[in-house]
Amino acid sequence: MLVYQDLLTGDELLSDSFPYKEIENGMLWEVEGKWVVQGAIDVDIGANPSAEGGEEDEGVDDQAVKVVDIVDTFRLQEQPAFDKKQFVTYMKRYIKLLTPKLEPEKQELFKKHIEGATKFLLSKLIDLQFFSDYVELVLQLCGESMHDDGSLVFAYYKEGATDPTFLYLAYGLKKSSVKKGVSHCSCLELDVLSDTMREI
């Protein structure tokens, strides 16, 4: 499996499990998210329920919840909305940080087209949700860097849509491969495991 990491922080933001469409001269990737039901997770903590007077199938579980697949898979955290001034300030800083990381030929294309992509995002600003890889301390176990200079991921609902569309700053992503057998642990699974560890 291929994953796409934030070029500035190294955190994983997307994988090839989620097809993308290039828009705005390749500056943005458009990815369709989906609401899914996740839950009823059982965690075996190694106890013997029958020996302890419990039920045979007793375990640690959680109620089913609805999550957006991309948000849950990559543990994205929603951030407060930006006004126009805040968004422009963010983009200026992001462009300044990202440009030196790009290869020379990509730098030229980035400088040429990023303004158009920024205007496109500004035109949808009132409808955008903002996500980042900033996470709670407990989630560092899965490798998040907790940098505050990383790329934002944007989401909005197209007219009549019930599932969100995500927008990624394409030049801020780098392709990487995941070793066979390595998988993501979801937010819900981490919450259950964290609660279990506190009970032990």
Domains and CATH numbers, the chain: 2-44+58-199 (2.170.150.10)
Q: Per residue of the chain (200 residues), what is the pLDDT tens digit?
A: 999 999 999 999 999 999 999 999 999 999 999 999 987 555 554 555 555 555 554 444 557 899 999 999 999 999 999 999 999 999 999 999 999 999 999 999 999 999 999 999 999 999 999 999 865 333 333 334 444 678 999 999 999 999 999 999 999 999 998 754 444 544 444 444 344 334 44
* Cβ-proximal residues to 132 (8 Å cutoff; 6+ apart), any chain: 76, 77, 79, 150, 151, 152, 153
> Which residues are registered as beta bridge partners of 130?
79, 154
> For the whole model, what pTM was predicted?
0.76
